[in-house]
Structure 1
Amino acid sequence: MASHVPAGVHFSPEIIAKAIAMFALGHQAKEVAEILKIGRTGTERLRRRWRAGQVTVPDEPAEEMAPEAMRRENRDAAFWRKRATDAAHDLAAAEHLAEELAGIRGMRVEIPDWLLRSSEGKKGRSVIGALTSDVHMGEVIDAEEILGINAYNPDICRVRMQRYFEAVCTVGTRWAADTECEGVLLAMAGDLISGDIHDELRMTNALTAHEQVSAVVGVYAAGLRMLLESYPRVHVVGVPGNHGRTTHKPTAKLYSRLSYDILAVSMLAEQFRDDPRVTFQYGRAKDQITPVFGRTVFTTHGDKIGTRGGMGFAGPMLPIVRGTKKISEQQASIGRRPDLIQHGHYHTSGAPGSVLANGSVPGYAEFADDIRAVVEPPQQWVYLLHSKWFLRERASIQLEAPSVPDKPKVRVPAGFRETADA
């Protein structure tokens, strides 16, 4: 086999051809030397010369190769091609696993210093937590379909969210009066929009998905400005929900990157990019972990906690307890222990242990009525984290003023009273 061999390379043309083929598949000089049983120093020199374009091998051999030798060469080439392909697949799987479990690659994390400092001070330090989820901007609930129990549309959504942010400012500042309040931890925990994941939503939504994103960003932008009037700083944590997905069915891969919820968070971050008082935490992972005063807050939407649906008279609370237990065990297996897990999705407000399960902004809807679920008012959590006591205060804020039902009007037929007295 003819070959241009520079000075200092003392291998036969056949060996050079095999070595170059293996270099092209990504093998290092050490591997090639061991497999071809040739000197490592010469192999490294050959690899350098090949990469510099100083070694060339013609496409056709100068002499005929015996059929058996040719078959052996073909088998060897196929073997190395398969190894290279398998290695590429293994690398891709490892990168995906690291991305899913740890959220390291491409993750946007900016944890501000005021969340990390754990020194007490005289009064103790605090952070107000605002858990928002299941806003469902764009959804329409027809009161007539559920006997007047509840109604919802984009205008009602704006009113309820304004009431919520006002409550965070009022209640939170009262709670934090005996502390040095550092700011607000605002969770945008998924299902910010109604989305188009069901045919009935596409038929009844008041806004398209893109309009929903724009509208909900406006709501949160107004809420952030309101919070900044009462608190010095706000750290926003965003995770994706199931209603905000852009795919027909839920996926395991690219779940966050294909989410309207994360698009809304990124648009909000763009609006406040020049305001140093507001920081944002979101990324490719479906969950986010935020350190607060030396402890950790685990934020997720709730659709991927490992359990689904309700359980008889207990409703969603048993799946919530089981699912958050699975989160704790999963995180413990890699040396992390969440001190607070916060999520939404089930539209059921609860606080089992170190868990805050969120209600919803729309409240009672046609689906809940269809399964005869217990009526729960629209509500969202607000809480206080203390540098010493951690979760010290919490309250589920009702987003509608409690209504007083009208007194029933009963018409008594004429003569009925006299008959009854007799």
Structure 2
Amino acid sequence: MDRRPKSVHLTEEERNRLRELLGSGMNPTHAARQMGCDPRTARREAKILKARGLAPAPEPAPASPEQARAERLGAEFWRRKAKTAEQALAKSEHLAGELAGLRGQPWQIPDWLLAPPAPGERGRSVIGCLVTDIHMGEVIQPDEILGVNRFDPDVCRARLRRYFEASCTIGQRWASDTDCEGALLVLGGDMVSGSIHDELAATNALTSPEQVVAVVETLAAGVKMLASTYGKVHVVSVPGNHGRTTPKPTAKLYARLSYDMMVAAMLQERFRFDERLTFQHGDSKDQIVPIFGRTAFVTHGDKIGTKGGMGFAGPMLPIVRGTKKVEAQQARFGRRPDLILHGHYHTTGNAGAVLSNGSVPGYGEYADDLRADPEPPQQWLFLLHSRWWLRERTPIQLEPPGRPPKPRVRVPAGWAEADREAA
């Protein structure tokens, strides 16, 4: 039986490979284990390399039990950190993949919006529909606000149907003395209720994907109505804060990670063969629309630079400050908005060249919690004239007119009879 050391049987190729491992910094014990040879051979080769000026890595000193335990705990900690990071990255990639269809969507400004007024012309017009803060899927319980309002998906559909019907009726009347070029439908964000707060996630009637489907169906019916009435429709969309898919608002990827942009993309896909419709939306939180040689600036309102309200003045002062900041910012870019369209504050206002929109849900638990002034559910309808610009505007009431609802008060059983007996 041959009992010579295994090192004797190393071929020249194996010996060169062993020297490469030692020269790369591997210590002799590990190199011998990898090559399957006697450690003495590896140490001998290491001495040869050292003599040539290529010292291999020194043999590791045996770790103490405390050091070994610390190393194990450290390795476990970083494994957990890496796993958490991988899960977060996978979630982001999945979400970006779901919304990937939003990127690369072609959009264009139609010619009928671009031409400036010609001398002596009769006057051209565009009917503008500002639709924001739909909050499809949200539920407002009447009992929680003494019965002054209620809201759910069915109420939402009925109110939007009333809005589009009124837009077609009133808009035609306004444009009767002009050459009406078409309709501008501005979808200004918060198309869905979303699940950005725990209370919304717990009380919404629909999940976020179901909200997207429901609002697309409802808006598609409205778009068809506008196209049938005015012939051409240009749809402009921007993202809102309720449509975000992130726990907190972000500066980067704000539009790409928004259900509002999914709504816009699904609408565009639905009408891709209808030449009467054009769409405008993108990766920005804002959009600029040229109309008759002027510009309309569209944003949701949550990123105009101011937030909240100011005492008895409510949100109007922050709205004025914020829109002035938008005007100043755009002026520094060499652009001057002739009209700013936004929502977010659920407050109807027309402070100068600004249309601040109300909401479709109307007065709810959040407003009641703030003791805010009640505002009926309403949305702006306006007419832009080629010569006179913002010539007509009115907030469309989304509920039939009538007396304010009486507060709903529940009287415990027996109280009424006790009062009668006492009388």
Q: TM-score, normalised by structure 1?
A: 0.71
User: Do residues 286 (structure 1) and 295 (structure 2) align?
Assistant: no
Distance 1:283 1:406 in 2: 42
Tell me the residue number matched to 2:378.
379
**For 1:32-84, what per-residue CA distance to the aligned partner results, in whole angstroms no more than 9, with x for missing partners?**
xxxxxxxxxxxxxxxxxxxxxxxxxxxxxxxx9xxxxxxxxxxxxxxxxxxxx
- For the 8 Å contact 1:185–1:236, the answer to whether it is kept is yes
Distance 1:189 1:359 in 2: 11
Matches within 5 A, 1:400-411: 400-404=399-403
Distance 2:405 2:348 in 1: 27
Matches within 5 A, 1:15-414: 108-120=106-118, 122-404=121-403
CA deviation after TM superposition for structure 1 residue 402, in Å: 2.2
Distance 2:381 2:248 in 1: 32
CA deviation after TM superposition for structure 1 residue 232, in Å: 1.1
Tell me the residue number matched to 2:25.
none
Tell me the residue number matched to 2:90.
none
Question: Where does structure 2 lack aligned partners over 5 or more consecutive residues?
Answer: 1-52, 54-102, 408-415
- Return the letter of the residue paired with 1:190: G
Distance 1:406 1:246 in 2: 36
- Return the letter of the residue paired with 1:178: D
Runs of 4+ displaced beyond 6 Å: 410-414
Secondary structure at the counterpart of residue 313 of structure 1: helix
Q: 1:277 to 1:348 in 2, by over 3 A?
A: same
CA deviation after TM superposition for structure 1 residue 123, in Å: 1.9
CA deviation after TM superposition for structure 1 residue 403, in Å: 2.7
CA deviation after TM superposition for structure 1 residue 404, in Å: 2.2
Question: Where does structure 1 lack aligned partners over 5 or more consecutive residues?
Answer: 1-63, 65-104, 417-422
CA deviation after TM superposition for structure 1 residue 363, in Å: 0.2
- For the 8 Å contact 2:107–2:278, the answer to whether it is kept is no
Distance 1:274 1:407 in 2: 49
Distance 2:133 2:117 in 1: 35
- Return the letter of the residue paired with 1:110: Q
- Return the letter of the residue paired with 1:137: M
**For 1:114-161, what per-residue CA distance to the aligned partner results, in whole angstroms no more than 9, with x for missing partners?**
000123464200000000000000000000100000000000000000
Distance 2:388 2:406 in 1: 46
Distance 2:215 2:244 in 1: 15
CA deviation after TM superposition for structure 1 residue 407, in Å: 9.2
- Return the letter of the residue paired with 2:242: H
CA deviation after TM superposition for structure 1 residue 413, in Å: 8.3
Q: 1:323 to 1:106 in 2, by over 3 A?
A: farther
- For the 8 Å contact 2:256–2:283, the answer to whether it is kept is yes
Secondary structure at the counterpart of residue 167 of structure 1: helix
Q: TM-score, normalised by structure 2?
A: 0.71
- For the 8 Å contact 1:107–1:284, the answer to whether it is kept is no
Q: 1:128 to 1:338 in 2, by over 3 A?
A: same
Secondary structure at the counterpart of residue 127 of structure 1: strand
Q: 1:265 to 1:148 in 2, by over 3 A?
A: same
Distance 2:405 2:301 in 1: 38
Secondary structure at the counterpart of residue 220 of structure 2: helix
Distance 2:279 2:143 in 1: 40
